[in-house]
Chain A
Amino acid sequence: MKSWTQARVDRWLDKRIPSSHSYQLDVNNTFILPTRFGWAIVGLMSCLFILGTNYQNNVILMFCYFVFSLLLLALFHSYVSFVQFHIVFRPVANCFSNQYAQLQLDLSHKKNRSALHSLSNIAIFSKRYPVYEYLEDGSNIIAISPFSRGLHHLGRVSIESIFPFGLFRCWSHLTVPGQFFVFPAPIPCGLQLRKQNSKGNTGNKSGVAVTSDDLQGIRDYRDSDPIHHVSWKHFAKGQGLFSKDFSERSAISGWLHFSDYFNHNVEQALSEVTFQILALSKQDANFGFSIGKQQIMPNTGIPHQQQCLEAIALYRYKQHALTLDENGNGRINNGINNGIDVSQTGLS
């Protein structure tokens, strides 16, 4: 029952405050109600009215009306100071499961904001994560919480302000757009690399170091090229950045098989594989990666590393939650991602 009402509320919220990268707080996405203290003051006001009337005490009545008009004013000031803010969410960076996911957002305000409202404090919090932080003008990084391995989205975060006197709470539930991967925390272990083989399945289990001196030629520099492959000779002549193209550019090559690390504990194995991928990438190895039914052909560089890590993140990972693609369109993704080539989903 509760989840049903929750779902209704969520649906209503999605319609009312559609997901977006940037939000200007305004009448459409702002909610306002008295805080607990605000209700206490309303109670105080009614007590004052009774005291003032029963004792026929005009000063107390005056005090009562003063509190009443102050409540009205606080309502207005609370709203006006709140709608001055503009919030831009940056894409959430991928992270490891031993790290805090970090939400990045930029906070700005309208230029003609009055000095009275400039002291207003705005805080971010979430029902799902134990976060309560005040935002500064400019860019903010908020550590949300560690996530488990997989593909996540942050969902709704709330921002609130109780600016004048804490009598009224202005708040809004904003959806953080986009998804992010959480990779397993790397755990150090020994390297098990299979020799490169067209069949891929059999071969030498120990890593083979291949000497890489046979220079094939010179080609344009790519971002993924290691710095020691840069042809400094050409650079010194002012001809720009070129890379020396080796027939085998990496010192290490081979296939990394997840099954080699697998023994009972899947998560432990995934963590170890993650460590290996990071290590191999650092050494600029040319390696392929096989996990479950999915095979990633040997390659080097950051995009390759990313692809491998994403495959790990999605290994046997069931995603029930509503996911949002980059265009902000929601869709239910119930598929088991194991075996799907992640590079095709357009999320990498």
Chain B
Amino acid sequence: MVALIMVSIMALMLAKPGYRKMQKIKVYNRKIASLTILGTFAALILSLIEPLMGWVLVLCACSFCITLYKSIAYSSPLKNSVLNLLALLCISILIWLAADYGLLNTMINLLVVACCLKILNLHHTGDYQMVASIQLFLVACGLIFHQSLLNSLFYAFLIILIFCVLHAIKIKETGLKTYSKHTVILLLQAIPVAALLFFVTPKLSPLWQMPVNQSNKTGLSEKMTPGDIAHLAKSDELVFRAEFTGPLPSPQQRYWRAIVLDEFDGKSWSISNTNKSFDGPQMIEFKGQALDYVVIAQPTSTKWLYSLDIPILIQGLSMQTILTNQQFQLTGRTPLYTQGLYAVKSFVEQPLNIYKGYENLSQYLQIPSSGNPETVEFVSENINTSMTTQEKIDKLKATFSYGDFRYTLSPPLMQSAPIDEFLFEKKAGFCSHYASALTYMLRLANVPARIVTGYQGGEVQSGNVISVHQFDAHAWVEAWEDDKGWMRIDPTAIVAPNRVLSGLLSMVQNRQEFRQQSPFSLTNLKEYAVFNQLRLLMANIDHTWDQSILSYNQERQKSLLKKIFGNMKAESFSYALIGSFVIIGLFISLLFIPKRKAKGSDEMEWIDKLFQLFEKQKLSRIENETLQQFSQRIQPQLTPQASNALGFIVKEYYEWKYTGLQQPAPFKILKNRLYKHIVMVQSQFTNK
């Protein structure tokens, strides 16, 4: 498909505007139209700045300036041959670079280049229309990357502007206000139909695999060098939200597992290649209460998903299957390229010993053959083989309690022997330093241990939702103790207990560091109660958006339709579809029906009614007869009282109509005055 788009755009770019008629068609409201389209162009480029190449950005800036100048001071069109040559050059560069940048990025770059070049020559209707369609496509590309409520609103605004331009160039010269109002009315009329279609049209599974964006999205990585997670701490990007149906986990239980790292090369931890699947027990019984929750995960660069220990998957993602493995992890087959929703049950009280006896623990004792000599010496001095596992763990944990360690977001560089330097020189670090050092020491002491990275904590919103941000990224240690299984040990909690209980930003010092590094984050406003509430409100709205729109999938569609129409069979589902189309048809015809009927004035209605009154008595009006002529004609047939009353009515009406000077009295007053006379005429009829 991408190739198809590329070819079609190439064809479009190179097509000579040989459509003679198109050229002749006048463009109205030219100045406003070109300035608006320039504005939407700039906004789109800014929102898509991430996947754009440098030279494309330079091209954008150039074409922006030229077009701005051209739209203010009218100038002659550029030569098409020059533009076509330039287009060919750009396209060949893009195709050349396509392999490095990935298809999706290349496509976006191509669209932007096409828009850049086309915007230079805004002269005919066709030019505007082509630029508008490219921009609409760019909006769609933007929506691949950003789907939050604010971004969606931003793109909706751009769509409105683009359609404003399309409207403006073809209608009579009017004020900006008129046609923007009309455009908005037209677009608003489209929304109910669109919403109905959205909720009713069957949701399909992906038709084929799409190119995935190779962006450098922040997130946990599969290789951790102590200090790595610190850069995540500077980001307040949302990672996922978990909505609980039952009670929330306590702060100490909020360890969101993502990746288990088990191989150490002296500097960094990674996932070993050894096979970690094994035959488990037939039946597993879980102890304790389960927590039920739904996770709405934001797009990420890794395939690892998040859950509390021990997760049982209830409902997977709509676009791919989720795997559970024996390291208690949830993984997708590919990274999440769009928001995903899955439901999990977690047994937080169950010790991680369910695979006891099945697991091969020797791989968790792997250590590099050399390096960090001081640590090796330290462990061999403190630990002897006669100690129990629990004693060894306690002993090594104690290192951090009495060692004057410091928790910091900006740890000093530790190059040659990182663990030695950390433990005995710098004594300052981030969670990954502590986890790394403790795991290494445990392995030296012959205790199977591994590092788990993930997120810890999260912010509670509206009672049952926990939002987890990148700055909640955390690393902790799991050590094997024969009775209890894998035991979670968080060395960071020993050094900075607040980090675990109330989050990273609870510490003043960390807050200052965070502020220095991300000065524009809204999270900085946490201290001010009003702003914090506002921020939480926004987060809530955002969550509702995620829940209702972004995560609307086949399952939800079924349940929604079930709620409305009762139990669904395939048959009744198709009825529902047909029904919805009928509703759409009715809606659209409703827009037009009232306008067909001429709305007569109050006065005309009154006169018609008066004539109808006589018509009932078989005194009908001859065509085009005025009221006066009519009354004179029928007078002989009326009783004296009735004819008097009618005479009065006619006299009053004509006086009101023709002698009223500049501003006649409202018709209502006259109507009320004449009412009793009409009743009089009517009563004479009935008496007869």
Please tell me if B137 contacts chain A, counting CB pairs below 8 Å. Answer: yes
Contacts of B685 in A (CB 8 A): none
**A166:B193 contact, CB within 8 angstroms:** no
Please tell me if B58 contacts chain A, counting CB pairs below 8 Å. Answer: no
> In A1-59, which residues have CB < 8 Å from any B CB?
36-37, 40-41, 44, 47-48, 50-51, 53-59
Please tell me if B24 contacts chain A, counting CB pairs below 8 Å. Answer: yes
**A40:B549 contact, CB within 8 angstroms:** no
Q: Which of A66, A73, A119 contacts B178 (CB 8 A)?
A: A119
**A69:B591 contact, CB within 8 angstroms:** no
* Min distance, Cβ A323 to any Cβ of chain B, angstroms: 29
**B170:A59 contact, CB within 8 angstroms:** no
- Mark interface residues in A68-81 (1 if CB within 8 Å of B CB, else 0): 11101110110010
**B174:A132 contact, CB within 8 angstroms:** no
Q: How far is the CA of A74 from the CA of B136 in the complex (A)?
A: 17
Which stretch from B112-120, B203-211, B219-227, B656-664 is at the chain A interface?
B203-211
**A58:B550 contact, CB within 8 angstroms:** yes
**A59:B143 contact, CB within 8 angstroms:** yes
**B338:A72 contact, CB within 8 angstroms:** no
Please tell me if A294 contacts chain B, counting CB pairs below 8 Å. Answer: no
> In B165-205, which residues have CB < 8 Å from any A CB?
166-167, 169-172, 174, 178-179, 182, 185-187, 189-191, 193-195, 197-198, 201, 204-205
**B588:A37 contact, CB within 8 angstroms:** no
Q: Which of A58, A115, A123 contacts B552 (CB 8 A)?
A: A58
Which of A70, A77, A115 has the most B CB atoms < 10 Å from its CB?
A70
**A163:B140 contact, CB within 8 angstroms:** no
**B143:A63 contact, CB within 8 angstroms:** yes
**A58:B549 contact, CB within 8 angstroms:** yes
Q: How far is the CA of A50 from the CA of B5 in the complex (A)?
A: 12
Q: How far is the CA of A70 from the CA of B319 in the complex (A)?
A: 29
**A164:B167 contact, CB within 8 angstroms:** yes
Q: Which of A55, A65, A125 contacts B198 (CB 8 A)?
A: A65
**B338:A65 contact, CB within 8 angstroms:** no
18 sample A-B contacts, Cβ–Cβ < 8 Å, listed by A number: A36-B126, A40-B129, A40-B130, A44-B136, A51-B140, A51-B144, A53-B207, A57-B144, A58-B550, A58-B551, A60-B140, A66-B159, A68-B194, A73-B190, A73-B591, A112-B595, A119-B174, A166-B169
Q: Which of A44, A53, A163 contacts B133 (CB 8 A)?
A: A44
Q: How far is the CA of A193 from the CA of B225 in the complex (A)?
A: 114
**B182:A119 contact, CB within 8 angstroms:** yes
B-side interface residues, number (CB < 8 Å): 70
Contacts of A80 in B (CB 8 A): 592, 595
**A44:B137 contact, CB within 8 angstroms:** yes
Contacts of B552 in A (CB 8 A): 58
Contacts of B163 in A (CB 8 A): 70, 165
* Min distance, Cβ A234 to any Cβ of chain B, angstroms: 44
**A63:B588 contact, CB within 8 angstroms:** no
Q: Chain A: residues with CB nearer than 8 A to chain B?
A: 36-37, 40-41, 44, 47-48, 50-51, 53-63, 65-70, 72-74, 76-77, 80, 111-112, 114-116, 119-121, 123, 125, 132, 134, 162-166
- Mark interface residues in B8-22 (1 if CB within 8 Å of A CB, else 0): 000000000001010
Contacts of B588 in A (CB 8 A): 72-73, 76
Q: How far is the CA of A66 from the CA of B192 in the complex (A)?
A: 9
**A132:B550 contact, CB within 8 angstroms:** no
- Mark interface residues in B132-159 (1 if CB within 8 Å of A CB, else 0): 0100110110011001000010010001
Q: How far is the CA of A139 from the CA of B187 in the complex (A)?
A: 34
Q: How far is the CA of A40 from the CA of B128 in the complex (A)?
A: 13
**B186:A53 contact, CB within 8 angstroms:** no
**B5:A47 contact, CB within 8 angstroms:** yes
**A37:B129 contact, CB within 8 angstroms:** yes
Other contacts beyond A72-B584, A116-B182: 8, CB < 8 A? A37-B133, A57-B144, A59-B550, A62-B198, A65-B193, A70-B163, A119-B174, A125-B21
Closest A residue to B545 by beta carbon equals A59
* Min distance, Cβ B208 to any Cβ of chain A, angstroms: 6
Q: Chain B: residues with CB nearer than 8 A to chain A?
A: 1, 5, 19, 21, 24-26, 28, 125-126, 129-130, 133, 136-137, 139-140, 143-144, 147, 152, 155, 159, 163, 166-167, 169-172, 174, 178-179, 182, 185-187, 189-191, 193-195, 197-198, 201, 204-210, 318-319, 337-338, 549-553, 584, 588, 591-592, 595-596, 598-599
Q: How far is the CA of A72 from the CA of B197 in the complex (A)?
A: 13
Contacts of A48 in B (CB 8 A): 140
Closest B residue to A134 by beta carbon equals B26
Contacts of A132 in B (CB 8 A): 21, 24-25
* Min distance, Cβ B200 to any Cβ of chain A, angstroms: 10
**A166:B166 contact, CB within 8 angstroms:** yes
Q: Which of A73, A114, A120, A163 contacts B189 (CB 8 A)?
A: A73
**B140:A63 contact, CB within 8 angstroms:** yes
Closest A residue to B148 by beta carbon equals A59
Contacts of B140 in A (CB 8 A): 47-48, 51, 60, 63
**A63:B549 contact, CB within 8 angstroms:** no
Contacts of B24 in A (CB 8 A): 132
**A56:B338 contact, CB within 8 angstroms:** yes
Q: How far is the CA of A134 from the CA of B24 in the complex (A)?
A: 11
Main secondary structure, interface of A, reads: helix
**A76:B194 contact, CB within 8 angstroms:** no
**A54:B152 contact, CB within 8 angstroms:** no
* Min distance, Cβ B122 to any Cβ of chain A, angstroms: 15
* Min distance, Cβ A60 to any Cβ of chain B, angstroms: 5
Contacts of B318 in A (CB 8 A): 56
* Min distance, Cβ B215 to any Cβ of chain A, angstroms: 14
Q: How far is the CA of A61 from the CA of B549 in the complex (A)?
A: 10
**B191:A66 contact, CB within 8 angstroms:** yes
* Min distance, Cβ B20 to any Cβ of chain A, angstroms: 9
Q: Which 5 residue pairs spanning A and B have beta carbons closest together? A: A69-B193, A119-B171, A65-B197, A66-B194, A37-B129
Contacts of B595 in A (CB 8 A): 80, 112, 114
Contacts of B137 in A (CB 8 A): 44, 47
Q: How far is the CA of A67 from the CA of B171 in the complex (A)?
A: 21
Q: Which of B130, B201, B207 contacts A65 (CB 8 A)?
A: B201
**B144:A69 contact, CB within 8 angstroms:** no
Contacts of B549 in A (CB 8 A): 58-59, 62
**A121:B197 contact, CB within 8 angstroms:** no
Q: How far is the CA of A111 from the CA of B600 in the complex (A)?
A: 12
Contacts of A55 in B (CB 8 A): 144, 206, 210, 337-338
Q: How far is the CA of A278 from the CA of B197 in the complex (A)?
A: 71
Closest A residue to B133 by beta carbon equals A40
Closest A residue to B144 by beta carbon equals A55
**A73:B125 contact, CB within 8 angstroms:** no
**A166:B147 contact, CB within 8 angstroms:** no
**B207:A165 contact, CB within 8 angstroms:** no
Closest B residue to A117 by beta carbon equals B595
Contacts of B130 in A (CB 8 A): 40
Contacts of B26 in A (CB 8 A): 134
**B187:A70 contact, CB within 8 angstroms:** yes
Q: Which of A37, A53, A58 contacts B204 (CB 8 A)?
A: A53
Given A57-B147, A116-B186, A119-B174: A62 in contact with B194 (beta carbons within 8 A): yes
* Min distance, Cβ A221 to any Cβ of chain B, angstroms: 39
Given A55-B144, A62-B194, A68-B194: A121 in contact with B553 (beta carbons within 8 A): no
Which of B125, B136, B169 has the most A CB atoms < 10 Å from its CB?
B136
Contacts of A61 in B (CB 8 A): 198
Which of A40, A55, A116 has the most B CB atoms < 10 Å from its CB?
A55
* Min distance, Cβ B77 to any Cβ of chain A, angstroms: 19
Contacts of B136 in A (CB 8 A): 41, 44, 67
Closest A residue to B1 by beta carbon equals A50
Closest B residue to A80 by beta carbon equals B592
Q: How far is the CA of A63 from the CA of B140 in the complex (A)?
A: 8
Contacts of A74 in B (CB 8 A): 186
**B139:A165 contact, CB within 8 angstroms:** no
Contacts of B208 in A (CB 8 A): 54
Contacts of B21 in A (CB 8 A): 125, 132
Q: Which of B143, B193, B584 contacts A57 (CB 8 A)?
A: B143
Contacts of B186 in A (CB 8 A): 70, 73-74, 77, 116, 164-165
